[in-house]
Amino acid sequence: MLDLVVFVKSEGVNVRLDNLRDTLMSFDEKNKNLDYKFYLVLESAVRKELEKSCGALLDDRALSVSEPVGTWAEDFNLFLDKIQGLASWLLIAHDDVQFVTDDYFKSITKEVSHLKDKIGWITSTSEHYYKNLNKMATDTFRAGFYKDNNKWGAMFQLHYNDFNRIDYPSRPVKIHGPMSALMITPMSSMKKIGQCENWTPYTMLVDEDWSLEALKNNLYNVWVPRVHHLHPNRIQKRKAFNRWDEQAHAGFLKKWGFDEGNARTTKWEQGVSIGLEKLRKRWGHTFIPWSSYRNSYDWEFVDE
């Protein structure tokens, strides 16, 4: 059995060969002593170019390189059906991520490996927005139902709203959930979390839904702060940003019975449309309301 399988789909107006190359090459460079394989779903043009420029890497590390047959969710669910029992862990990444920390996968999992049966999703730290783009924002986490939801993006380690006062926790902490650029889970937890909802062509609100599915199953979502990646690479060259927002929220509302969003723009209390008391009453037997009782920076360490 493999230690890890890495799923990356690259399709659409924002596809760039240089981004995809950096994603794959940086992961391989930072995980030299890891038994892993890539599972890649690539549109035809980028697949051909990648095979020309990274043929040796693909020969060595690709479990599969195929072309899309449907939406992101449909392609992911086909992948999930195929790789059952082939790997212990799953890593899902966008095609514009750069891995920074040496021995990335072993570094991020060793701090929580003793809690594997209790873990939903794990993510690492991206400092790209606030250190490289001069924006007070982190795209590492979902905003959840935290008391400071209306402060987005100055939440979590940015809650002082000051580039010179970054407040990192000293070790892994629980979070509401990660954003879809970088999500890691044990395959045993993926079975509980389930397949990807097919709401839009890409990943809009997939991360929020999967985070809630983990919390519904009383699994902890975790941030390992000392392990780093960068995202989004070459954002200034993107041709499009968030799309299919309306369709995603309609699907989300139909499934969960409530909508979520930034409290600053929606005016919903702590970012949930049904109100906190209804949320807590309906889902109080699960971890879903967990974030509603605290600020994003009120760290709860996973080892306590």
Per residue in 267-286, pLDDT (tens digit) is 899 999 999 999 999 999 99
Q: How far is the C-alpha of 301 from the C-alpha of 170, rounded, in Å?
A: 9
**39: phi then psi, degrees, rounded to nearest 5:** -120, 110
pLDDT at 240: 61
- Grade residue 180 by pLDDT with cuts at 50, 70 and 90: very high
> What's the CA gap between 99 and 228, in Å, rounded?
7
What pLDDT, in 10s, does the model give residues 234-267?
777 776 667 788 999 999 999 999 999 988 888 8
- For residue 227, which of 290, 115, 140 has the smallest C-alpha distance? 140
- For residue 216, pLDDT over 80 is answered with yes
The string of pLDDT tens digits covering residues 86-119 is: 999 999 999 999 999 999 999 999 989 899 999 9
Determine what percent of the chain is predicted with pLDDT higher than 90.
89
Alpha-helical segments (H) within the chain: 17-29, 44-53, 55-61, 72-82, 104-110, 187-193, 206-216, 245-256, 263-266, 276-283
pLDDT at 239: 66
Model confidence band, residue 37 (pLDDT cutoffs 50, 70, 90): very high
> What is the model's pLDDT at position 274?
96
**180-to-8, 43, 53, 198, 217 alpha-carbon distances in Å:** 11, 20, 27, 15, 19
Rounded CA-CA distance 20/2 in Å is 23
Burial class from Cβ neighbours inside 10 Å (0-12, 13-18, 19+) for residue 19 reads buried
191's tokens: 């079975």
Closest CA to 224 of 118, 46, 101, 80: 101
Q: What is the mean pLDDT of the chain?
A: 95
Task: Please report where in the chains the tokens 């059995």 appear, as a residue.
Answer: 1
Q: Which residues touch 290 (CB under 8 Å, ≥6 apart)?
A: 174, 176, 215
Instruction: Work out the average pLDDT over 20-35.
Output: 97
Residue 33 has phi, psi (to 5 degrees) of -110, 40
Domains of the chain with bracketed CATH = 2-293 (3.90.550.10)
Element (H, E) at 123: strand 119-126
